[in-house]
Structure 1
């Protein structure tokens, strides 16, 4: 899907919970490298410390990232741009990665109910189990959530 079509209808509402998905360029398994995964996790912490958002749950999979949070400041576009540019610069510099790290766009979904929040949070934390990376919830080292 083109990045233009992904932006149609995108709204950034302070106090709203969202789930964002960022995919590695050409589905490259960039985060098989623990150092690259650590850079993503550190950037999530930086953005939380800057009081831009409050994370609910996230997972760094080998070729993509799911991140659910409550938006506290700025827009989704600003957060996505800052996250992707900061992580890409560090991954190229510190991990020797050449070329693009991320696909141009990202996917967003607004969470509209407590039921939806719980369903999406479970989807995120269970992603490593579904992918066969671990056998049970809580074993995967590159995941965090209030329920883990």
Structure 2
């Protein structure tokens, strides 16, 4: 059995890719309110900051910063996945998520910027929209509201060719 090695850094900032088992599903955006509730529950039980996020039909990308002295991002993902899945059980959904997730420790400001850009451009990369601002389930809108990014960001899909935990093709 493969032993997964995670980089547990107390108070660290981490990029994640979390994927559904069925890559043809659109359950995440179909039940976005339930997903938001799952995130709120996880943050209430085990606080963390969401620095950036995008929710696509079958996967999501996020950057979390954990509190000082806390390195347990796995408990947060377990809580989010469980709360979301529990809400869908009545609809006949089960075995919804892939068992593991992609995690990357953010190393510096440039690494943070690259990953935030990747998150915001991801809907364009997947052909869901032609401009970053057209995708509603993204922290891009908060970044614009705070004056951190321009509202007219088009988002060239080729700008960042790294996969950051996604299958290509």
TM range, normalised to the smaller chain?
Answer: 0.7 to 0.9
1:100-122 superposed Cα distances (whole Å, 9 cap, x missing partner): 11011111110001000000001
**CA positional deviation for 1:42:** 2.5
Match of 1:18?
14
Q: CA RMSD in A?
A: 2.1
Which of 61, 76, 82 lines up with 2:79 in the alignment? Answer: 82
Could you tell me which runs of 5 or more consecutive residues in structure 1 were left unpaired when the two chains were aligned: none
**CA positional deviation for 1:130:** 1.2
Q: Alignment partner of 1:121: what SS?
A: helix
Is contact 2:18–2:102 with CA below 8 Å preserved after alignment?
yes
**CA positional deviation for 1:138:** 2.1
Counterpart Cα distance in 2 of 1:48 and 1:99:
23
Counterpart Cα distance in 2 of 1:144 and 1:45:
15
Match of 2:98?
103
Q: Identify the structure with the greater strand proportion.
A: 1
Counterpart Cα distance in 1 of 2:48 and 2:100:
20
| 2:110 is aligned with 1:115 | yes
TM (norm. structure 1) is: 0.83
Q: Identify the structure with the greater helix proportion.
A: 1
Which of 130, 137, 142 lines up with 2:132 in the alignment? Answer: 137
TM (norm. structure 2) is: 0.73
**CA positional deviation for 1:17:** 0.6
Aligned residues: 141
Counterpart Cα distance in 2 of 1:70 and 1:98:
30
Deviates more, 1:74-83 or 1:25-34: 25-34
1:81-130 superposed Cα distances (whole Å, 9 cap, x missing partner): 1111111111223xx14321101111111000100000000100111111
Distance 1:74 1:88, change over 3 A: farther
| 2:64 is aligned with 1:69 | yes
1:50-93 superposed Cα distances (whole Å, 9 cap, x missing partner): 56211111111111011111012460221111111111111223
